[in-house]
């Protein structure tokens, strides 16, 4: 009786072992952090492009996932709530970072889009000490989405809760490239998604695609602190680095420079138009491929600085003492701060000519506040992408022309555009710019005549964020349009296509087969511009075929019939595995049964 009881127990344990297989369906078990998470098998393939968002945004983002798939990037949308349930971490940002790291290590993820505002997809508030006494309200943390790019450092190695402090392990060599679509409103997200798709598939072709806008104010005038007629602090004119950038543009590009033309001190450097509120609005709305706007800022805008009154007529802006100390001197002469740009301005570029913008003013990228900052406003109205700082921004005093581009905000600005014209995708270019900055600092060291403020440098590197799609291919030439057409084929099992541009057939063009947002196949045209796609004439009815390449307008053959997935076959999910394990278990039972018979004998 006792042996029979043991035998029944073994049978019951066997049932428990087999039951999970019977209900597992097409899912497999993967170890994620400290948890076992059941994930559909089809999602375990490579995920090139990862979208992280809130539950209510998933449907809105599906068209973007479909377009990325058509470009050849396998794309997956993940919900923040699911991530924070399935992954370990001290807080939401760390759980999200652990998720991204998992996909990077196991699915070769390269691009990450944070699709939501700061309270839907949180940023990392990273430690960045503000040492200047005039800005105590700025605090000692900055919004830092770059935290999600540095996957091989946890940014709190000493467990003091100050993420990214001097003692923590971190670097500026990105494992993935991160951008953010900053809204929690579905209609706004829908517009942002549509902007990305239209920018890449149906742009307004013209000279604007190779034109750059530069708008730089006077930031500081030549200053006298002790009324001796000698310059104690030299001027800082944002038009000077803008000229440096304009002179480094590719040969096929043009530029338009706007600078201060009012008051007692105008810009000493070349410019095409005077800089003012109305004029800047008109130029942005005319459409530029790229733009740099620098002035003193706050979250909702920027201002110019105009030298109005020079009481002693010496051409210097006089103070009672040094204004940049704990006991600051007061201004003797007078200056004003006319508005340069604000969120109240109407930005609506003609024919949706969206540009990539870098904003160099303080706090213009403060997206972690209830009201939209100016960089968010740009993204929603005039930009395909926008880079800006989330707190007080520090530029280089008396910036001058050097091959490496200088330091602080000015230096990061120069390096970003340098990398963008090399790699053409803002997420990659921005990450490379930060890595290049750090490498240059280590190689070149400190300029003795300029001083060095490590806290401000770290603040610049952490606080500048990219709002926009990190992967979008920015226009750098006036593009040709691709044309993909189907050729006759000797077989119904393979479809043949040819891709043409203005000058005939073209090789090396990426061709994809996509059903919905599922990337089924990707290949490239041969030396004759032809490609064979391994689907039957019946299957191809449900599949869209896309030809795409950087600096070409893509061509798409849409599916002629809507795909409806067939009903699941009515068999036990995991059937083959269930049979195999079942036979193994029956073998064990047989052996045990034989042993029992031998014992009875």
pLDDT tens digits along 9-57: 444 444 444 444 333 333 222 222 222 232 333 444 799 999 999 999 9
CATH of the domain at 524: 2.60.40.10
Question: Do residues 380 and 188 touch, judged by C-beta distance below 8 A?
Answer: yes
Question: In terms of domains, do 383 and 487 share one?
Answer: no
- Quick check: is 181 in a domain? no
The residue among 434, 468, 502 that closes a domain is: 468
Strands (E), 193-337: 211-216, 218-220, 223-224, 236-237, 254-259, 273-274, 290-294, 296-298, 301-303, 306-309, 317-318, 334-336
**Rounded to an integer, what distance in angstroms lies between the CA atom of residue 193 and that of residue 199?**
10
- Higher local confidence (pLDDT), 215 or 568: 215
**Rounded to an integer, what distance in angstroms lies between the CA atom of residue 216 and that of residue 207?**
23
Question: In terms of domains, do 404 and 333 share one?
Answer: yes
Domain that residue 201 falls in: 195-468
Strands 518-524 and 510-515: antiparallel
- Quick check: is 93 in a domain? no
Question: Do residues 219 and 395 touch, judged by C-beta distance below 8 A?
Answer: yes
**Rounded to an integer, what distance in angstroms lies between the CA atom of residue 601 and that of residue 590?**
17
How many helices (DSSP H) and strands (DSSP E) are in the chain? 12, 34
- Quick check: is 341 in a domain? yes
**Rounded to an integer, what distance in angstroms lies between the CA atom of residue 352 and that of residue 493?**
42
Residue 102 has pLDDT above 50, yes or no: yes
Question: Do residues 422 and 396 touch, judged by C-beta distance below 8 A?
Answer: no
Torsion angle defined by CA atoms of residues 179, 182, 185 and 188, in that order, rounded to the nearest 10 degrees? -80
Question: In terms of domains, do 314 and 376 share one?
Answer: yes
Tell me: the pLDDT tens digits for 340-372?
A: 999 999 999 999 999 999 999 999 999 999 999
- Quick check: is 249 in a domain? yes
Q: Which residues contact 567 (CB under 8 A, 6 or more apart)?
A: none
Q: Which residues contact 569 (CB under 8 A, 6 or more apart)?
A: none
- Quick check: is 388 in a domain? yes
Residue 582 has pLDDT above 60, yes or no: no
Question: In terms of domains, do 248 and 353 share one?
Answer: yes
Residue 479 has pLDDT above 60, yes or no: yes
For the chain, how many structural domains are there in total? 3
Instruction: Determine phi and psi for 584, rounding to 5 degrees.
Output: -60, -40
Question: Do residues 218 and 267 touch, judged by C-beta distance below 8 A?
Answer: yes
Question: What's the pLDDT at 43?
Answer: 43
The residue among 437, 468, 499 that closes a domain is: 468
Q: Which of 342, 353, 469 is nearest to 73 (CA)?
A: 469
Predicted TM-score (pTM) of this structure: 0.87
Question: In terms of domains, do 372 and 520 share one?
Answer: no
Tell me: the pLDDT tens digits for 534-564?
A: 999 899 999 999 999 999 999 999 987 877 7
**Rounded to an integer, what distance in angstroms lies between the CA atom of residue 389 and that of residue 404?**
21
């Amino acid at each position: 009786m006792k042996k029979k009881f043991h035998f029944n127990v073994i049978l019951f344990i066997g049932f428990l072992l087999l039951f999970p297989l019977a209900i597992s369906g097409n899912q497999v078990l993967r170890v994620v952090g400290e948890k076992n998470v059941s994930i559909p098998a089809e999602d375990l393939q490579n995920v090139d492009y990862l979208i992280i968002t809130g539950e209510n945004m998933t449907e809105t983002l599906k068209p973007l996932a479909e377009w990325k798939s058509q470009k050849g990037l396998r794309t997956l949308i993940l919900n923040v709530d699911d991530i924070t349930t399935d992954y370990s971490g001290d807080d939401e940002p760390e759980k999200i970072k652990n998720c991204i790291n998992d996909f990077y290590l196991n699915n070769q993820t390269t691009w990450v889009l944070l699709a939501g505002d700061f309270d839907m997809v949180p940023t990392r508030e990273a430690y960045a000490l503000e040492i200047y006494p005039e800005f105590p309200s700025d605090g000692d943390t900055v919004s830092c989405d770059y935290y999600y790019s540095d996957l091989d450092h946890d940014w709190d190695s000493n467990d003091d809760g100050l993420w990214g402090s001097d003692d923590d392990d971190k670097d500026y060599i990105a494992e993935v490239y991160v951008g953010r679509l900053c809204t929690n409103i579905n209609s706004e997200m829908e517009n942002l998604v549509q902007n990305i798709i239209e920018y890449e598939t149906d742009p307004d072709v013209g000279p604007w695609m190779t034109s750059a806008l530069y708008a730089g104010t006077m930031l500081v005038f030549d200053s006298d602190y002790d009324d001796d007629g000698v310059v104690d602090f030299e001027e800082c004119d944002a038009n000077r680095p803008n000229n440096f950038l304009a002179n480094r543009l590719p040969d096929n590009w043009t530029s338009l420079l706007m600078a201060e033309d009012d008051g007692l001190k105008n810009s000493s450097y070349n410019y095409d138009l005077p800089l003012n509120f109305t004029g800047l609005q008109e130029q942005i709305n005319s459409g530029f491929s790229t733009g740099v706007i620098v002035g003193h800022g706050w979250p909702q805008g920027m201002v110019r600085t105009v030298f109005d009154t020079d009481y002693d007529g010496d051409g210097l802006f006089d103070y009672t003492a040094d204004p940049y100390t704990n006991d600051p001197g007061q201004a003797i002469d007078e200056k004003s701060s006319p508005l340069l740009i604000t969120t109240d301005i109407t930005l609506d570029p003609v024919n949706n000519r969206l540009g990539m913008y870098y904003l160099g003013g303080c706090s213009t990228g403060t997206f972690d506040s209830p009201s939209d900052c100016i960089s968010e406003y740009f993204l929603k109205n005039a930009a395909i992408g926008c880079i800006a700082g989330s707190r007080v921004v520090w530029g280089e005093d008396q910036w001058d022309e050097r091959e490496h581009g200088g330091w602080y905000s000015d230096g990061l600005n120069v390096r970003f555009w340098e990398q963008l014209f090399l790699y053409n995708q803002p997420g990659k270019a921005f990450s490379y710019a930060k890595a290049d900055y750090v490498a240059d600092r280590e190689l070149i060291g400190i300029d003795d005549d300029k001083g060095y403020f490590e806290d401000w440098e770290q603040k610049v590197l952490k606080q500048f964020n990219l709002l926009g799609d990190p992967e979008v291919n920015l226009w750098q030439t006036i593009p040709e349009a691709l044309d993909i057409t189907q050729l006759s084929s000797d077989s119904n099992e393979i479809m043949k296509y040819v891709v043409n541009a203005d000058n005939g057939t073209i090789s090396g063009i990426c061709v994809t087969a996509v059903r919905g947002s599922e990337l089924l196949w990707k290949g490239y045209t041969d030396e004759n511009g032809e490609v064979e796609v391994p689907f039957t004439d019946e299957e191809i009815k449900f599949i869209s075929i896309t030809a795409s390449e950087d600096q070409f307008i893509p061509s798409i053959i849409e599916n002629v019939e809507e795909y409806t997935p067939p009903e699941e076959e009515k068999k036990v999910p995991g059937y083959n595995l269930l049979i195999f394990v079942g036979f193994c278990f029956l073998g064990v039972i047989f052996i045990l049964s034989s042993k029992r018979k031998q014992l009875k004998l």
